[in-house]
Structures are given as C-alpha cells and as structure tokens.
Chain A
Amino acid sequence: QPQLQESGPGLVKPSETLSLTCTVSGDSISSSYNYWAWIRQPPGKGLEWIGSIYYRGNMYYNPSLKSRISMSVDTSKNQFSLNVMSVTAADTAFYYCAREAISNGFHEVDYWGQGTLVSVSS
C-alpha cells in the first residue's frame, strides 16, 4: 500500500505563497497508472480538489483555483509539490496529498496522506 506524507510550513502570511511537498513511499510516482493529487478542506467544511499531476508533467486543475496554482514532480525523490500563490485567509485549510488512480480511463482518488493544517495569518 502506498503511503503519502505532506510537509511544509503550517503558517503563511497573506499575499505570500503556500508551498507543500508530498513524499510517496510504497509506490513509484513514475507509475503509468496514477496521477498525484492535492485536496484541501477548510476546518469544519467540505473537501475541495485542487489539482493533480502526472509524472511526465501533465496536469489538471480546479477551474476556480487554476490562476493561483502550480504543481511539480520530482521523480528522483518520489515527491510532488504544490504552490498556491497570493494566499488569503480563505486558503486556510487542511491540505491532503493523494494518489489519483486511473482505472479504465476514469480518475479515482484512493490513497490519502494524513493531511497538514496550513493557516494564513499575519
């Protein structure tokens, strides 16, 4: 079973960039069958998919966040990363990294990291 672990600052100032990294173990990030996703959840609220990236760099984005998001993959470290630019208090959330399996052409998020809380505050 793959395991995913998020890392990054727990506090970011407004207007700055939120940066997180996900380290994957038990699976290769270069697998042909998976994308690697970011999902967030404001405290007490629902889940919001941010985007996902393939090891070759192909990406999908949440249309509402696309202008502020960038993602990258480091296959040598079996890691992928997320940047959210120009953050505001509305970006305060638990951030999860996850595996997005491709099954019969369909995307299905199956394995999740434990999540990390990122607060946006001055």
Chain B
Amino acid sequence: QSVLTQPPSASGTPGQRVTISCSGSNTNIGRSTVNWYQQVPGAAPKVLIFTNSQRPSGVPDRFSGSKSGTSASLAISGLQSEDEADYFCAVWDDDLNGHYVFGTGTKVTVL
C-alpha cells in the first residue's frame, strides 16, 4: 500500500487543464523532491517532471509541477489526445532507513 495518495482517475476535453494531486507526509514529500512519471500503455514509465518542477528536455511546457508542504501537483495545460496515460508521483522517503516510493497512480482520459 503506497504512502503517496493520488486520485485514481482524471479527465478532460482537448485544450482543458487537468490537475493531479499527490499527498504524502513529513518523511517524504515534506523533506524531499518530487518526481512525476508518464506511462503510456505497453511502455516503460518516463520522467515528466523532476525536482518538483523541472522538465527534462523534450517534455512539452504544458506539463508543470509544484510542491507545497506535504503535497505536490502535476498540471497539464492544453490537454491533448496523446496525454492519455497513467501518471505517477514519486519521492524518497526517509522513514525505515530510506526508500523510494511511488504514488498510487492516476489514469488520465481525454474525452
């Protein structure tokens, strides 16, 4: 059972803005940097956002990340059909000698 909670699903029409939340605690999000991954069906996850809000080269600027306290958010502005995928947050957790944890995942559907 993950210690990072995400909504199981989110949806929007093309062009809309969609936001995904990731709720954690003082031992993980409250102390470390948050990363976000996108996984399209049949493929490995790829990093979308690292260090809370940084985009790797090649990731469109319609994707943005933020963190406040023990929660983080991923926003997709100008939703496109190719954004239909699963999204996971992740962070290092200092509890129990340290380990990496993933969020429960959010399925984004483009209506």
Query: CB within 8 Å of B: which residues of A?
Result: 37, 39, 46-49, 51-52, 60-63, 96, 100, 103-104, 106-115
Contacts and interface: CB of A to CB of B under 8 A. Distances in A.
Interface residues of B, number: 26
B88 interface: yes
Interface of B: 2, 32-33, 35, 37, 43-47, 50-51, 56, 88, 90, 92, 96-105
Given A103-B51, A106-B51, A115-B44, A48 B99 contact: no
Contacts of B35: 108-110
B100 A49 contact: yes
A46 B104 contact: yes
A49 B101 contact: yes
A103 B32 CA distance: 11
B98 to A, nearest CB: 5
Nearest to B105: A46
B99 A96 contact: no
A34 B90 CA distance: 17
Contacts of B46: 112
